Amino acid sequence: MKKLFTIIAFIWSVASFAQNEQLANNYFEKGEFEKALVIYESLNDKQPGNIFFSQRMAACYQQLQQYAKAEKLLKDKADSTGQPLLLVELGYNYQLQQNMAEANKYYEQAIDAVRQNPSFVYTVANTFEKKVLAEQALKAYEVAKQGNPNMNFDYQIALLQGQLGNMELMIESLLNYAYNNPQNLPVVQNQLARFMNEESPESFNDALRKQLLLNTQKTQDLFWNEFLSWYFVQQRDYGKAFIQEKAIYKRDPDSFINIISLARLAVEENEEETAREILGFILENTQDPATLMDANAYILKMDIAKAQEKDYAAIKQRIDALLAQFGVTPYSLDLQILKADFEAFHLKDTQAGIATLNTALKLQLNKYQSAEVKMKLSDILLLDEKFNQAIIYYAQIEEDLKNDPIGHEASLKVARSSYFKGDFDWAQKQLKVLKSSSSQLIANDALELFLLITDNTVEDSTQTALKKFARADFMLYRNKKQEALNEFKNLIATDKTESIQDITRLRLGKLYEQSGQYDLALQYYKEIIDNYAEGIYIDEALFFSAEIYNKHLQDPEKAKPLYEKVLFEHEDSIYFVEARREFRQLRGDMTS
């Protein structure tokens, strides 16, 4: 029994000590240094060998400008423990008092301790780094390496060189570290990516690219080709990444999976020309059925997106031929869903699309595959104006995959179906929850629709304009583009609800852009830029206009100022990163 009481008392003591430490830390973080100091002093009395408490006490004294107390504490602790990191703390105490001569004296003493015993570098250099004393930390690492050549601090030294503004040295050191420690390659690439995404990385990106190219020329090691491919992917220059991947594949056929991944990425980023080139290479160099099927499906999707009605028969024949080749199985499910979508949305044969999906549902599918089929089935039922049936299927997916992105997508489609139907109140309830979805894409779409309904309900309680707009949007969903175009134009001409005007012009601009009528698209975007500069669609009008000038009309001088406006006036835009990349490319920062 006595032993039990002893154990309980010990556990209670440990718990109480930990609780006090947490309380002290909380006071410290909130800037309540007097309260924190009282508790740290108590903790220090109980554990005099714990240097952390001494450091925190010294920091409290310094915040309270009681430098003499901090000095005495640190000197006593340094004498009793012999820990040179406390010499750094002492030097910093003098630095805070603008006494750099004394500060440097103690910093040198700490570095001398590392010279005598290189293992001290870990605590000494770390303390220098915490005090943002990069030069002293760098010297400590270099002294330790001289004393023990087996020690490797290339990574730490590289980051310190970066802090000191020596970017080329940092790049060289990081690349050498990655080459000598390939298991740490992701860590290095994460660090480099951070610098590549800073506000003004042009010189950094250029220096990194040059160093990588130099390394590929100096050695035949595929490591550098792979690294260069990674670099181009970060720059979203998938064509140049593909050149590197082809070079790698010639020497290492097992790397083919990387080319497949690159193709997917190019497709997802709508880099169609590059995607087609990579997919063509894949079709020429593989006999794997799944890969062949996926590559053909990607090409079909791009062809369908650009197809005119006269092309439909040939596309249907291609889809049927692929399904005959690969069979109607769970492995060809994506192809079956593509077939159903094409039948319903392009051939306008919703019954055929539904029949294709009902056949797919009879296969041995997992819950995610079933959800994909039901999602497309719901989309087709909605296309057929069977709102309630569509919502029931969406709701099933929502229920089956509650906390999954697919479940959230189904929830968004329930809200959108209610919006198309004109049931704006119910749509709002759904969208209010989805605005905070963990999926950024779904959250953005939900917020956009939520604001559309809210803005047009505040100005017009009868929601007359909103009903017309939703009807036109539904025509757009049903791929009835000319009817949608007419509805949107009629809305601008006949309805003077201010809040509906800019979004309607945005829809018209996008429709004309998709049909290649760029002059009309630019006209509507310009009306938004000129007349609705305070609205929420101004960044889209600017970015879409810039894209037309840049990628379709080959007029970079007109594109540049539009991208620039997105950068400097709309930093919260979802198009900010893309606008920055295109602007820098046009300005000549991203060279080949």
Q: What is the pLDDT of residues 323-343, one digit of tens each?
A: 999 999 999 999 999 999 999
User: Residues 240-247: what's their mean pLDDT?
Assistant: 95
DSSP 55-68: HHHHHHHHHTT-HH
Helix (H, G, I), strand (E, B) or coil at 369: helix
Q: Are 114 and 124 in contact (CB under 8 A)?
A: yes
Hunting for tokens 């497309």 — which residue is that? Answer: 376
Q: What is the pLDDT of residues 3-53, one digit of tens each?
A: 544 444 444 444 454 677 888 888 888 888 888 888 888 888 888 878 888
Amino acid, res. 233? V
Is the confidence at residue 369, as pLDDT, over 90? yes
Residue 155, token pair as written in the block = 């990574």
pLDDT band at 586 (very low <50, low <70, confident <90, very high): confident
User: What pLDDT was estimated at residue 43?
Assistant: 86
The C-alpha atoms of residue 266 and residue 269 are separated, in whole angstroms, by 5
User: What pLDDT was estimated at residue 252?
Assistant: 93
User: Residues 202-214: what's their mean pLDDT?
Assistant: 88
The C-alpha atoms of residue 46 and residue 20 are separated, in whole angstroms, by 12
Torsion of CA 448, 522, 345, 410, to 10 degrees: -10
Our CA angle for 264, 268, 274, nearest 5°, is: 70
User: Can you state the angle between helices 405-421 and 440-459, rounded to 10 degrees?
Assistant: 20
User: What pLDDT was estimated at residue 198?
Assistant: 60
The C-alpha atoms of residue 227 and residue 123 are separated, in whole angstroms, by 33
The C-alpha atoms of residue 113 and residue 128 are separated, in whole angstroms, by 14
Question: Exposed, middle or buried: residue 133 (CB in 10 Å: 0-12, 13-18, 19+)?
Answer: buried
Q: Nearest-CA neighbor of 73 among 51, 96, 95, 97?
A: 51
Mean pLDDT of the chain: 90
User: What pLDDT was estimated at residue 18?
Assistant: 60
Residue 19, token pair as written in the block = 């609780």
For the ranges 198-207, 398-407, 499-508, which has the lowest average pLDDT? 198-207
Segments in 460-555 forming alpha helices (H): 464-477, 481-494, 498-514, 518-531, 538-547
The reply to whether the predicted model has a pTM over 0.85 is: no
The C-alpha atoms of residue 370 and residue 361 are separated, in whole angstroms, by 7
Our CA angle for 82, 86, 88, nearest 5°, is: 130
User: Residues 339-365: what's their mean pLDDT?
Assistant: 96
Q: Nearest-CA neighbor of 386 among 374, 395, 378, 394?
A: 378
pLDDT band at 462 (very low <50, low <70, confident <90, very high): confident
User: Can you state the angle between helices 85-96 and 100-116, rounded to 10 degrees?
Assistant: 170
Q: What is the pLDDT of residues 70-106, one digit of tens each?
A: 899 889 888 888 899 999 999 999 999 999 999 999 9
pLDDT band at 589 (very low <50, low <70, confident <90, very high): low
Q: What is the pLDDT of residues 146-179, one digit of tens each?
A: 999 999 898 999 999 988 989 899 999 999 999 9
% of the chain with per-residue pLDDT over 90: 67
The C-alpha atoms of residue 111 and residue 488 are separated, in whole angstroms, by 73
Q: Are 137 and 159 in contact (CB under 8 A)?
A: no
